[in-house]
Structure 1
Protein backbone atom coordinates (compact mmCIF):
# COMPACT_ATOMS: atom_id res chain seq x y z
CA UNK A 1 0.00 0.00 0.00
CA UNK A 2 1.38 3.42 -0.92
CA UNK A 3 1.78 5.86 1.94
CA UNK A 4 0.10 9.23 1.85
CA UNK A 5 1.78 12.36 0.56
CA UNK A 6 1.64 13.72 4.15
CA UNK A 7 3.46 10.64 5.53
CA UNK A 8 6.08 10.81 2.77
CA UNK A 9 6.60 14.53 3.48
CA UNK A 10 7.16 13.90 7.19
CA UNK A 11 9.52 11.00 6.45
CA UNK A 12 11.59 13.25 4.18
CA UNK A 13 11.74 16.05 6.74
CA UNK A 14 12.88 13.58 9.41
CA UNK A 15 15.47 12.07 7.05
CA UNK A 16 17.23 15.45 7.01
CA UNK A 17 17.87 15.52 10.79
CA UNK A 18 21.21 17.22 11.51
CA UNK A 19 21.53 18.65 7.99
CA UNK A 20 23.24 22.05 8.27
CA UNK A 21 21.33 25.32 8.24
CA UNK A 22 22.15 27.83 5.52
CA UNK A 23 20.27 31.10 5.03
CA UNK A 24 18.29 30.69 1.80
CA UNK A 25 19.07 26.96 1.59
CA UNK A 26 16.41 25.01 -0.31
CA UNK A 27 17.93 21.52 -0.27
CA UNK A 28 20.87 22.09 -2.58
CA UNK A 29 24.03 20.13 -1.78
CA UNK A 30 27.06 21.85 -0.32
CA UNK A 31 29.88 21.35 -2.86
CA UNK A 32 32.50 20.54 -0.24
CA UNK A 33 30.54 17.87 1.67
CA UNK A 34 27.60 16.84 -0.48
CA UNK A 35 25.25 17.52 2.46
CA UNK A 36 21.91 19.16 1.77
CA UNK A 37 21.55 22.60 3.36
CA UNK A 38 18.29 24.26 4.43
CA UNK A 39 16.77 27.28 6.03
CA UNK A 40 13.42 26.77 7.75
CA UNK A 41 11.10 27.40 4.79
CA UNK A 42 13.57 25.75 2.42
CA UNK A 43 13.21 22.43 4.25
CA UNK A 44 9.41 22.61 4.02
CA UNK A 45 9.29 23.59 0.34
CA UNK A 46 11.99 21.04 -0.65
CA UNK A 47 10.19 18.15 1.07
CA UNK A 48 6.81 19.19 -0.37
CA UNK A 49 8.23 19.25 -3.90
CA UNK A 50 9.94 15.89 -3.39
CA UNK A 51 6.58 14.23 -2.63
CA UNK A 52 4.91 15.65 -5.73
CA UNK A 53 3.57 18.87 -4.29
CA UNK A 54 4.00 22.28 -5.90
CA UNK A 55 7.53 23.56 -6.43
CA UNK A 56 7.48 26.60 -4.14
CA UNK A 57 11.24 26.68 -3.55
CA UNK A 58 11.87 29.89 -5.48
CA UNK A 59 8.77 31.79 -4.41
CA UNK A 60 7.86 30.81 -0.86
CA UNK A 61 9.29 31.93 2.40
CA UNK A 62 7.76 31.74 5.87
CA UNK A 63 5.35 34.62 5.25
CA UNK A 64 4.10 33.07 2.00
CA UNK A 65 3.58 29.71 3.72
CA UNK A 66 1.42 31.48 6.31
CA UNK A 67 -0.54 33.36 3.63
CA UNK A 68 -1.19 30.45 1.27
CA UNK A 69 -1.64 27.39 3.49
CA UNK A 70 -4.87 26.55 5.28
CA UNK A 71 -4.94 27.70 8.90
CA UNK A 72 -5.53 25.02 11.52
CA UNK A 73 -7.15 25.76 14.85
CA UNK A 74 -7.20 24.74 17.62
CA UNK A 75 -3.95 22.91 18.29
CA UNK A 76 -5.94 19.76 19.12
CA UNK A 77 -6.62 19.33 15.38
CA UNK A 78 -2.94 19.21 14.42
CA UNK A 79 -1.73 16.32 12.30
CA UNK A 80 1.85 15.18 11.78
CA UNK A 81 3.17 17.20 8.84
CA UNK A 82 1.30 20.40 9.76
CA UNK A 83 3.30 23.59 10.20
CA UNK A 84 3.89 25.79 13.23
CA UNK A 85 4.77 29.38 12.36
CA UNK A 86 6.55 31.76 14.69
CA UNK A 87 6.66 35.55 14.62
CA UNK A 88 9.38 38.10 15.21
CA UNK A 89 9.78 39.30 18.75
CA UNK A 90 7.68 42.44 19.09
CA UNK A 91 5.85 41.80 15.79
CA UNK A 92 3.08 39.22 16.30
CA UNK A 93 1.81 39.66 12.74
CA UNK A 94 4.83 38.76 10.58
CA UNK A 95 5.91 35.09 10.66
CA UNK A 96 9.67 34.60 10.42
CA UNK A 97 10.18 30.92 11.23
CA UNK A 98 8.47 27.60 10.48
CA UNK A 99 8.70 24.12 11.99
CA UNK A 100 6.98 20.83 11.09
CA UNK A 101 4.71 19.03 13.56
CA UNK A 102 5.82 15.46 14.32
CA UNK A 103 3.23 14.79 17.01
CA UNK A 104 3.05 14.73 20.79
CA UNK A 105 4.13 18.37 20.93
CA UNK A 106 7.38 17.68 19.03
CA UNK A 107 8.42 19.92 16.11
CA UNK A 108 11.31 19.51 13.65
CA UNK A 109 12.91 22.03 11.35
CA UNK A 110 16.00 23.96 10.31
CA UNK A 111 16.76 26.14 13.30
CA UNK A 112 19.49 28.13 15.01
CA UNK A 113 20.68 30.17 12.06
CA UNK A 114 19.83 33.46 10.47
CA UNK A 115 20.84 35.81 7.69
CA UNK A 116 24.50 35.55 8.76
CA UNK A 117 24.55 31.75 8.57
CA UNK A 118 26.01 31.33 5.09
CA UNK A 119 28.71 28.65 5.46
CA UNK A 120 29.07 25.27 7.11
CA UNK A 121 31.44 26.90 9.62
CA UNK A 122 28.72 29.43 10.50
CA UNK A 123 26.22 26.60 11.00
CA UNK A 124 28.62 24.62 13.19
CA UNK A 125 29.43 27.70 15.29
CA UNK A 126 25.74 28.40 15.94
CA UNK A 127 24.58 24.74 16.17
CA UNK A 128 22.30 25.65 13.26
CA UNK A 129 20.85 22.54 11.71
CA UNK A 130 17.69 20.49 11.23
CA UNK A 131 16.74 19.47 14.77
CA UNK A 132 13.82 18.59 17.01
CA UNK A 133 12.24 20.42 19.95
CA UNK A 134 9.90 18.87 22.50
CA UNK A 135 7.40 21.73 22.53
CA UNK A 136 5.45 23.60 19.86
CA UNK A 137 6.08 26.66 21.98
CA UNK A 138 9.87 26.26 22.14
CA UNK A 139 10.27 29.92 21.18
CA UNK A 140 8.51 31.09 24.34
CA UNK A 141 5.09 32.25 23.21
CA UNK A 142 6.07 33.50 19.78
CA UNK A 143 3.78 31.19 17.81
CA UNK A 144 1.85 32.90 15.02
CA UNK A 145 -0.31 29.83 14.52
CA UNK A 146 -0.64 26.55 12.70
CA UNK A 147 -1.04 25.84 8.99
CA UNK A 148 -1.70 22.84 6.76
CA UNK A 149 0.09 22.22 3.46
CA UNK A 150 -2.01 21.40 0.38
CA UNK A 151 -1.48 17.62 0.40
CA UNK A 152 -3.46 15.70 -2.19
CA UNK A 153 -3.36 12.33 -0.40
Structure 2
Protein backbone atom coordinates (compact mmCIF):
# COMPACT_ATOMS: atom_id res chain seq x y z
CA UNK A 1 0.00 0.00 0.00
CA UNK A 2 2.81 2.43 0.87
CA UNK A 3 4.53 1.94 -2.50
CA UNK A 4 1.28 2.56 -4.36
CA UNK A 5 0.75 5.78 -2.41
CA UNK A 6 4.32 6.91 -2.97
CA UNK A 7 4.40 6.25 -6.72
CA UNK A 8 7.70 6.36 -8.60
CA UNK A 9 10.61 8.10 -6.88
CA UNK A 10 11.82 9.43 -10.24
CA UNK A 11 9.46 10.80 -12.90
CA UNK A 12 9.58 9.29 -16.41
CA UNK A 13 12.53 10.68 -18.36
CA UNK A 14 14.44 11.93 -15.30
CA UNK A 15 18.14 11.54 -16.13
CA UNK A 16 20.30 12.02 -13.04
CA UNK A 17 23.60 11.61 -14.91
CA UNK A 18 22.83 14.31 -17.48
CA UNK A 19 21.51 16.64 -14.76
CA UNK A 20 24.68 16.31 -12.70
CA UNK A 21 27.19 16.53 -15.57
CA UNK A 22 29.66 19.34 -14.92
CA UNK A 23 29.06 19.27 -11.18
CA UNK A 24 30.81 22.12 -9.33
CA UNK A 25 32.01 21.07 -5.84
CA UNK A 26 30.25 23.02 -3.07
CA UNK A 27 27.51 24.26 -5.40
CA UNK A 28 23.75 23.85 -5.18
CA UNK A 29 24.07 21.14 -7.82
CA UNK A 30 26.47 19.29 -5.51
CA UNK A 31 23.88 19.56 -2.74
CA UNK A 32 21.26 18.22 -5.15
CA UNK A 33 23.56 15.29 -5.94
CA UNK A 34 23.93 14.58 -2.21
CA UNK A 35 20.17 14.81 -1.73
CA UNK A 36 19.54 12.40 -4.59
CA UNK A 37 21.43 9.73 -2.63
CA UNK A 38 18.59 9.88 -0.09
CA UNK A 39 15.80 9.08 -2.58
CA UNK A 40 13.64 6.40 -0.99
CA UNK A 41 14.38 7.50 2.60
CA UNK A 42 11.19 7.80 4.67
CA UNK A 43 9.51 11.08 5.56
CA UNK A 44 9.42 11.69 9.31
CA UNK A 45 8.30 15.07 10.69
CA UNK A 46 11.24 16.82 12.38
CA UNK A 47 13.85 14.38 11.00
CA UNK A 48 17.18 15.75 9.76
CA UNK A 49 18.76 12.58 8.34
CA UNK A 50 20.73 10.74 7.35
CA UNK A 51 18.08 7.99 7.07
CA UNK A 52 14.81 9.91 7.64
CA UNK A 53 13.84 13.46 6.67
CA UNK A 54 11.23 16.14 6.71
CA UNK A 55 11.35 18.69 3.89
CA UNK A 56 13.60 21.27 5.50
CA UNK A 57 15.72 18.57 7.13
CA UNK A 58 16.50 17.14 3.69
CA UNK A 59 17.57 20.56 2.38
CA UNK A 60 19.69 21.23 5.46
CA UNK A 61 21.32 17.78 5.26
CA UNK A 62 22.05 18.02 1.52
CA UNK A 63 23.79 21.38 1.83
CA UNK A 64 25.69 20.24 4.92
CA UNK A 65 27.22 17.47 2.78
CA UNK A 66 28.84 20.15 0.60
CA UNK A 67 30.03 22.29 3.51
CA UNK A 68 27.18 24.80 3.71
CA UNK A 69 25.41 25.53 6.98
CA UNK A 70 21.72 26.17 6.27
CA UNK A 71 19.00 27.13 8.78
CA UNK A 72 16.67 24.39 10.04
CA UNK A 73 13.10 25.38 9.10
CA UNK A 74 11.58 26.15 5.70
CA UNK A 75 10.66 29.67 6.88
CA UNK A 76 14.26 30.34 7.99
CA UNK A 77 15.63 28.79 4.80
CA UNK A 78 13.40 31.10 2.72
CA UNK A 79 15.34 34.11 4.05
CA UNK A 80 18.80 32.59 3.52
CA UNK A 81 20.93 32.98 0.40
CA UNK A 82 20.09 35.04 -2.67
CA UNK A 83 16.57 35.39 -4.13
CA UNK A 84 16.03 33.77 -7.54
CA UNK A 85 13.10 34.42 -9.88
CA UNK A 86 11.08 31.33 -10.82
CA UNK A 87 11.99 31.75 -14.50
CA UNK A 88 15.72 31.79 -13.58
CA UNK A 89 15.77 28.55 -11.56
CA UNK A 90 18.81 26.33 -11.94
CA UNK A 91 19.29 22.80 -10.58
CA UNK A 92 20.36 23.07 -6.95
CA UNK A 93 18.31 26.19 -6.18
CA UNK A 94 16.04 25.88 -3.15
CA UNK A 95 12.32 26.25 -3.86
CA UNK A 96 9.59 27.19 -1.38
CA UNK A 97 5.87 26.55 -1.47
CA UNK A 98 2.58 27.82 -0.01
CA UNK A 99 1.89 31.37 1.16
CA UNK A 100 3.17 30.62 4.67
CA UNK A 101 6.31 28.86 3.31
CA UNK A 102 5.50 25.49 4.82
CA UNK A 103 7.28 23.29 2.26
CA UNK A 104 10.73 23.32 0.64
CA UNK A 105 12.62 21.28 -1.94
CA UNK A 106 15.69 21.42 -4.16
CA UNK A 107 15.10 22.27 -7.81
CA UNK A 108 16.10 19.38 -10.10
CA UNK A 109 15.52 21.03 -13.50
CA UNK A 110 12.65 20.75 -15.98
CA UNK A 111 10.01 21.76 -13.42
CA UNK A 112 11.03 18.98 -11.02
CA UNK A 113 12.16 19.08 -7.40
CA UNK A 114 13.74 16.74 -4.91
CA UNK A 115 11.72 16.76 -1.70
CA UNK A 116 10.43 14.95 1.36
CA UNK A 117 6.73 15.61 1.03
CA UNK A 118 4.62 13.92 3.69
CA UNK A 119 4.09 10.87 5.89
CA UNK A 120 4.00 7.65 3.87
CA UNK A 121 5.76 9.16 0.86
CA UNK A 122 9.54 8.69 0.73
CA UNK A 123 12.05 11.26 -0.51
CA UNK A 124 11.54 11.55 -4.26
CA UNK A 125 11.87 13.70 -7.36
CA UNK A 126 8.46 15.06 -8.34
CA UNK A 127 6.88 17.84 -10.45
CA UNK A 128 6.77 21.25 -8.79
CA UNK A 129 3.43 22.11 -10.38
CA UNK A 130 1.41 20.14 -7.84
CA UNK A 131 2.43 22.57 -5.07
CA UNK A 132 1.80 26.39 -5.04
CA UNK A 133 5.16 28.09 -5.68
CA UNK A 134 6.15 30.85 -3.24
CA UNK A 135 9.79 31.76 -3.90
CA UNK A 136 13.32 30.44 -4.51
CA UNK A 137 16.81 31.07 -3.16
CA UNK A 138 20.31 30.20 -4.28
CA UNK A 139 22.73 29.13 -1.56
TM superposition score category, shorter chain reference: 0.7 to 0.9
Alpha-carbon distance in structure 2 between the residues aligned to 1:68 and 1:104: 24
Which protein has the bigger strand share? Answer: 1
Alpha-carbon distance in structure 1 between the residues aligned to 2:95 and 2:53: 17
Contact 2:54 2:118 in 1 (8 A): no
1:19 partnered with 2:56 = no
TM-score by length of 2: 0.76
TM-score by length of 1: 0.70
Structure with max Cα Rg: 1
State the shift of 1:45 in Å: 0.5
Alpha-carbon distance in structure 2 between the residues aligned to 1:109 and 1:10: 10
* Unaligned 5+ runs, structure 2: 1-21
1:144 partnered with 2:134 = yes
Kindly report which structure 2 residues correspond to 1:56-95, keeping only aligned pairs within 5 A, or say none.
56=70, 59-73=71-85, 75-87=86-98, 92=99, 94-95=100-101
Task: Name the counterpart of 2:15.
Answer: none
Alpha-carbon distance in structure 1 between the residues aligned to 2:126 and 2:46: 22
Q: After the TM superposition, which parts of structure 1 deviate over 3 Å for at least 4 consecutive aligned residues?
A: none
Alpha-carbon distance in structure 1 between the residues aligned to 2:67 and 2:94: 18
Task: Name the counterpart of 1:116.
Answer: none
Task: Name the counterpart of 2:25.
Answer: 4
Kindly report which structure 2 residues correspond to 1:111-130, keeping only aligned pairs within 5 A, or say none.
111-113=117-119, 126=120, 128-130=121-123
* Unaligned 5+ runs, structure 1: 29-35, 114-125
State the shift of 1:133 in Å: 1.1
Aligned length: 117
The Cα offsets for residues 16-66 of structure 1, whole Å up to 9 and x where unpaired, read as 1110011111014xxxxxxx0000000110111111112x4xx52000001
